[in-house]
Copies of this chain bind each other. A is one copy, B any other.
Amino acid sequence: MSAMRQFHLFNASMTGAGRRDDAIYRALWEAIVAHKLPPGARLPEDALASAFKISRTGIRRVLQRLALERLVTLVPNRGAQISHPSPAEAHDVFEARRMLESSAMISVVERHTAKDLVHLRQLTEAERQALTQRRRSEAIRLSGQFHTGLVALTGNESLLDFISQLVSRSSLIIAVYGDSRHTGCTCSHDELLALVESRDPVAASQWMSAHLEEIVSGLDFTQDTVAEPDFERLFATF
């Protein structure tokens, strides 16, 4: 569980609030990317405030942050809800990922160490197991971790921030347009690691580009999802 958060950057200098805010932010973030809060779900301030046992002031801070990261949509006088990405937004997100991640591979091929590869292979193995055991949401989470973990090897924090955001949004996109039958993509992340290990920047870059195109081409833009969650129960263990 702690490994899940390792690539997501949280620090007090961004929000000014202490670790309590961060904990609430992470709880909501995990609930969103794990599809426990479906796109379109409303997020009433009072319900969240009592669930997390703080005042609405703190909740609003967290909601605004999630809104700026596009995981939540804030409508004036009508509150917050989990974002429901449009098809156009879905294309934009994966196109931006394609540009950034394929470029990042050049740097990753140059800078990676053997230890980095070991760690990434552990992720792919965990992902493979999650897939075979039909733990779909965890497979998506691990896949996201693989992509952010790869970009983290560039050592570029600004880049990592943006990719982390795009990966989170991808999770929402998959929740809305992902075909629940096949698992997203047929290829394995191990193929990429082999190219990285062989220090072939062009091949790694092109593989990543094709990989992201394959994911977006596997989306089905003719479905939808809505629901009304129970925050007290969802965050009872907080």
Contact = CB atoms under 8 A, between A and B. Distances in A.
A96 B165 CA distance: 15
Interface string A90-124: 00110110011011100000000000000000000
A65 B79 CA distance: 18
Interface in A52-76: 61, 63-65, 67-70, 73-76
So how many copies of this chain end up in the complex? 2
A217 interface: no
Contacts of A158: 70, 89, 92-93, 96, 166, 169
Given A64-B65, A74-B16, A156 B103 contact: no
Contacts of A4: none
Interface string A5-35: 0000000111111100000000000000000
Contacts of A102: 103
Contacts of A18: 76
A16 B80 contact: yes
B162 A17 contact: no
Interface size class of chain A, counting residues whose CB lies under 8 Å from the partner chain: 35 or more
A136 to B, nearest CB: 25
A157 interface: yes
Nearest to A209: B103
Interface of A: 12-18, 61, 63-65, 67-70, 73-76, 79-80, 89, 92-93, 95-96, 99-100, 102-104, 156-159, 162, 166, 169
